[in-house]
Protein backbone atom coordinates (compact mmCIF):
# COMPACT_ATOMS: atom_id res chain seq x y z
CA UNK A 1 0.00 0.00 0.00
CA UNK A 2 2.82 2.41 0.91
CA UNK A 3 4.57 1.73 -2.39
CA UNK A 4 1.36 2.48 -4.29
CA UNK A 5 0.88 5.76 -2.44
CA UNK A 6 4.47 6.73 -3.15
CA UNK A 7 4.06 5.96 -6.88
CA UNK A 8 0.91 8.07 -6.99
CA UNK A 9 2.67 10.95 -5.25
CA UNK A 10 5.62 10.71 -7.64
CA UNK A 11 3.25 10.80 -10.61
CA UNK A 12 1.35 13.75 -9.13
CA UNK A 13 4.60 15.65 -8.53
CA UNK A 14 5.73 14.96 -12.09
CA UNK A 15 2.46 16.28 -13.51
CA UNK A 16 2.60 19.33 -11.29
CA UNK A 17 6.14 20.03 -12.49
CA UNK A 18 4.97 19.71 -16.09
CA UNK A 19 2.27 22.30 -15.43
CA UNK A 20 4.77 24.66 -13.81
CA UNK A 21 7.22 24.29 -16.70
CA UNK A 22 4.47 25.07 -19.18
CA UNK A 23 3.34 28.07 -17.15
CA UNK A 24 6.88 29.38 -16.87
CA UNK A 25 7.17 29.38 -20.67
CA UNK A 26 3.78 31.06 -21.13
CA UNK A 27 4.48 33.71 -18.49
CA UNK A 28 7.83 34.49 -20.12
CA UNK A 29 6.10 35.12 -23.44
CA UNK A 30 2.95 36.96 -22.36
CA UNK A 31 3.47 38.03 -18.76
CA UNK A 32 1.15 36.88 -16.02
CA UNK A 33 -1.62 39.28 -17.02
CA UNK A 34 -1.64 38.00 -20.60
CA UNK A 35 -1.57 34.31 -19.71
CA UNK A 36 -4.55 32.03 -19.22
CA UNK A 37 -5.21 28.54 -17.92
CA UNK A 38 -6.24 27.27 -21.36
CA UNK A 39 -2.87 28.12 -22.92
CA UNK A 40 -0.95 26.70 -19.95
CA UNK A 41 -2.96 23.48 -20.18
CA UNK A 42 -2.31 23.26 -23.92
CA UNK A 43 1.45 23.61 -23.40
CA UNK A 44 1.39 20.97 -20.67
CA UNK A 45 -0.69 18.56 -22.74
CA UNK A 46 -3.69 18.62 -20.40
CA UNK A 47 -7.24 19.88 -20.47
CA UNK A 48 -7.96 23.10 -18.53
CA UNK A 49 -10.02 21.06 -16.06
CA UNK A 50 -7.03 18.87 -15.28
CA UNK A 51 -4.97 21.91 -14.28
CA UNK A 52 -7.42 22.70 -11.49
CA UNK A 53 -6.55 19.38 -9.86
CA UNK A 54 -3.21 20.96 -8.97
CA UNK A 55 -3.81 24.72 -8.87
CA UNK A 56 -6.88 26.80 -8.07
CA UNK A 57 -6.02 29.61 -10.48
CA UNK A 58 -3.44 31.18 -12.74
CA UNK A 59 -2.37 33.31 -9.79
CA UNK A 60 -1.74 30.19 -7.71
CA UNK A 61 0.55 28.86 -10.44
CA UNK A 62 2.42 32.16 -10.51
CA UNK A 63 2.78 32.13 -6.73
CA UNK A 64 4.24 28.61 -6.83
CA UNK A 65 6.75 29.56 -9.51
CA UNK A 66 7.75 32.74 -7.69
CA UNK A 67 8.21 30.84 -4.43
CA UNK A 68 10.50 28.32 -6.17
CA UNK A 69 12.47 31.14 -7.80
CA UNK A 70 12.96 33.06 -4.57
CA UNK A 71 13.99 29.91 -2.73
CA UNK A 72 16.65 29.21 -5.36
CA UNK A 73 17.83 32.82 -5.13
CA UNK A 74 18.14 32.60 -1.36
CA UNK A 75 20.12 29.38 -1.62
CA UNK A 76 22.49 30.97 -4.14
CA UNK A 77 23.22 33.90 -1.82
CA UNK A 78 23.49 31.75 1.30
CA UNK A 79 25.95 29.41 -0.40
CA UNK A 80 28.23 32.24 -1.56
CA UNK A 81 31.66 32.28 0.05
CA UNK A 82 32.01 34.11 3.35
CA UNK A 83 35.30 35.42 4.75
CA UNK A 84 36.11 35.21 8.44
CA UNK A 85 36.79 38.67 9.89
CA UNK A 86 36.39 40.26 6.43
CA UNK A 87 32.75 41.27 6.15
CA UNK A 88 33.62 43.56 3.25
CA UNK A 89 34.67 40.57 1.14
CA UNK A 90 31.64 38.63 2.32
CA UNK A 91 29.40 41.51 1.25
CA UNK A 92 30.91 41.50 -2.24
CA UNK A 93 30.70 37.71 -2.56
CA UNK A 94 27.07 37.49 -1.49
CA UNK A 95 25.94 40.52 -3.47
CA UNK A 96 27.50 39.15 -6.65
CA UNK A 97 25.79 35.81 -6.01
CA UNK A 98 22.44 37.64 -5.84
CA UNK A 99 23.05 39.55 -9.06
CA UNK A 100 24.65 36.59 -10.83
CA UNK A 101 21.64 34.39 -10.11
CA UNK A 102 19.44 36.61 -12.25
CA UNK A 103 22.08 37.00 -14.96
CA UNK A 104 22.32 33.21 -15.21
CA UNK A 105 18.55 32.64 -14.96
CA UNK A 106 16.78 35.34 -16.99
CA UNK A 107 13.41 33.57 -16.76
CA UNK A 108 13.55 33.96 -13.00
CA UNK A 109 14.12 37.67 -13.59
CA UNK A 110 11.04 37.84 -15.81
CA UNK A 111 8.99 36.32 -12.99
CA UNK A 112 10.49 38.68 -10.44
CA UNK A 113 9.80 41.77 -12.50
CA UNK A 114 6.14 40.94 -12.97
CA UNK A 115 4.14 43.29 -10.74
CA UNK A 116 1.28 40.96 -9.82
CA UNK A 117 2.74 39.76 -6.52
CA UNK A 118 4.61 42.77 -5.03
CA UNK A 119 4.31 41.66 -1.40
CA UNK A 120 5.63 38.15 -2.04
CA UNK A 121 8.40 39.54 -4.22
CA UNK A 122 9.37 42.22 -1.68
CA UNK A 123 9.61 39.74 1.18
CA UNK A 124 11.51 37.14 -0.83
CA UNK A 125 14.05 39.54 -2.31
CA UNK A 126 14.76 41.15 1.03
CA UNK A 127 15.16 37.75 2.68
CA UNK A 128 17.68 36.79 0.01
CA UNK A 129 19.68 39.94 0.75
CA UNK A 130 19.71 39.44 4.51
CA UNK A 131 23.26 37.96 4.46
CA UNK A 132 24.42 41.17 2.73
CA UNK A 133 22.72 43.22 5.40
CA UNK A 134 24.42 41.08 8.02
CA UNK A 135 27.81 41.82 6.48
CA UNK A 136 27.09 45.55 6.66
CA UNK A 137 26.12 45.20 10.30
CA UNK A 138 29.37 43.35 10.92
CA UNK A 139 31.24 46.32 9.45
CA UNK A 140 29.77 48.48 12.22
CA UNK A 141 26.79 50.07 10.52
CA UNK A 142 23.72 50.71 12.62
CA UNK A 143 20.68 48.55 11.84
CA UNK A 144 18.98 51.48 10.10
CA UNK A 145 22.05 52.37 8.01
CA UNK A 146 22.54 48.73 7.07
CA UNK A 147 18.90 48.57 6.00
CA UNK A 148 19.28 51.71 3.89
CA UNK A 149 22.42 50.42 2.17
CA UNK A 150 20.81 47.02 1.51
CA UNK A 151 17.81 48.77 -0.02
CA UNK A 152 20.07 50.89 -2.21
CA UNK A 153 21.99 47.75 -3.21
CA UNK A 154 18.74 46.10 -4.25
CA UNK A 155 17.57 49.13 -6.22
CA UNK A 156 20.90 49.54 -8.01
CA UNK A 157 21.10 45.86 -8.92
CA UNK A 158 17.52 45.66 -10.12
CA UNK A 159 18.01 48.79 -12.22
CA UNK A 160 21.06 47.33 -13.94
CA UNK A 161 19.25 44.04 -14.54
CA UNK A 162 16.35 45.94 -16.12
CA UNK A 163 18.74 47.88 -18.37
CA UNK A 164 20.48 44.68 -19.42
CA UNK A 165 17.13 42.97 -20.03
CA UNK A 166 16.00 45.76 -22.35
CA UNK A 167 19.45 46.18 -23.97
CA UNK A 168 19.45 49.83 -22.93
CA UNK A 169 22.82 50.26 -21.24
CA UNK A 170 23.85 53.82 -22.14
CA UNK A 171 27.04 53.03 -24.06
CA UNK A 172 28.49 50.14 -26.09
CA UNK A 173 30.82 47.93 -24.12
CA UNK A 174 29.21 48.58 -20.76
CA UNK A 175 28.53 45.43 -18.79
CA UNK A 176 25.79 45.22 -16.17
CA UNK A 177 27.69 42.61 -14.10
CA UNK A 178 30.87 44.72 -14.20
CA UNK A 179 28.99 47.87 -13.19
CA UNK A 180 27.29 46.06 -10.32
CA UNK A 181 30.60 44.61 -9.14
CA UNK A 182 32.11 48.10 -9.16
CA UNK A 183 29.21 49.46 -7.12
CA UNK A 184 29.44 46.70 -4.50
CA UNK A 185 33.21 46.99 -4.17
CA UNK A 186 32.90 50.74 -3.65
CA UNK A 187 30.15 50.16 -1.09
CA UNK A 188 32.35 47.71 0.82
CA UNK A 189 35.40 50.00 0.67
CA UNK A 190 33.36 52.95 1.90
CA UNK A 191 32.30 51.21 5.09
CA UNK A 192 35.13 48.81 5.90
CA UNK A 193 38.16 49.74 7.96
CA UNK A 194 40.92 47.19 8.56
CA UNK A 195 41.60 48.87 11.91
CA UNK A 196 38.04 48.51 13.12
CA UNK A 197 36.97 45.62 15.28
CA UNK A 198 34.53 43.36 13.47
CA UNK A 199 31.13 44.01 15.01
CA UNK A 200 28.62 41.38 15.95
CA UNK A 201 25.13 42.89 15.79
CA UNK A 202 23.09 42.39 18.98
CA UNK A 203 20.22 39.95 18.61
CA UNK A 204 17.00 41.69 17.70
CA UNK A 205 18.49 44.93 16.34
CA UNK A 206 17.97 43.94 12.73
CA UNK A 207 14.35 42.95 13.31
CA UNK A 208 13.69 46.15 15.23
CA UNK A 209 14.98 48.24 12.34
CA UNK A 210 12.78 46.42 9.86
CA UNK A 211 9.74 47.04 12.04
CA UNK A 212 10.46 50.75 12.14
CA UNK A 213 10.54 51.44 8.41
CA UNK A 214 9.87 49.84 5.07
CA UNK A 215 12.04 51.57 2.51
CA UNK A 216 10.46 49.74 -0.43
CA UNK A 217 7.12 51.49 0.00
Q: What is the residue extent of each domain of the chain?
A: 1-55, 62-212
pTM attached to this predicted model? 0.75
Render pLDDT for 28-69 as a digit per residue (tens, 0 to 9). Answer: 888 788 889 999 999 989 888 888 888 988 888 988 888 888
Position 195 scores a pLDDT of 56
With a CB cutoff of 8 Å and minimum separation 6, the contacts of 208 are 143
Q: Which residue has the higher pLDDT, 118 or 85?
A: 85
202: left (phi over 0), alpha (psi -120 to 50) or beta: beta
Which pairs count as long-range contacts for 78-84, CB under 8 Å and 24+ apart, including other chains?
A: 78/131, 80/131, 82/131
Position 59 scores a pLDDT of 85
Position 30 scores a pLDDT of 83
**CA–CA separation, 14 vs 102, rounded Å?**
26
| CA 138 to the chain's CA centroid | 23
Contact 32, 58 (CB under 8 A): yes
Contact 152, 183 (CB under 8 A): no
Alpha-carbon Rg for the chain, nearest whole angstrom, is 20
CATH number of this structure's domain 62-212, picked from the four choices 4.10.520.10, 1.10.357.10, 1.10.1740.10, 3.40.630.30: 1.10.357.10
**By mean pLDDT, which of 80-89, 90-99, 106-115, 157-166 is the weakest?**
106-115
Contact 171, 186 (CB under 8 A): no
Render pLDDT for 118-132 as a digit per residue (tens, 0 to 9). Answer: 555 667 777 888 899
User: What is the H or E stretch that residue 41 is in?
Assistant: helix 37-44
Q: In the CATH scheme, what is the code of domain 1-55?
A: 1.10.10.60
Say which DSSP state 53 is in.
T
Amino acid sequence: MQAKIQRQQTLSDARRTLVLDAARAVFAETGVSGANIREIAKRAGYTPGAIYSYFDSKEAIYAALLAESLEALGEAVASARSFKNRPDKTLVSQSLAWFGFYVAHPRHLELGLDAEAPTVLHDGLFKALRPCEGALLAMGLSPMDALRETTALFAHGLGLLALQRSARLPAPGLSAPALFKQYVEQLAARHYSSDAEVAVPPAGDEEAALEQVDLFE
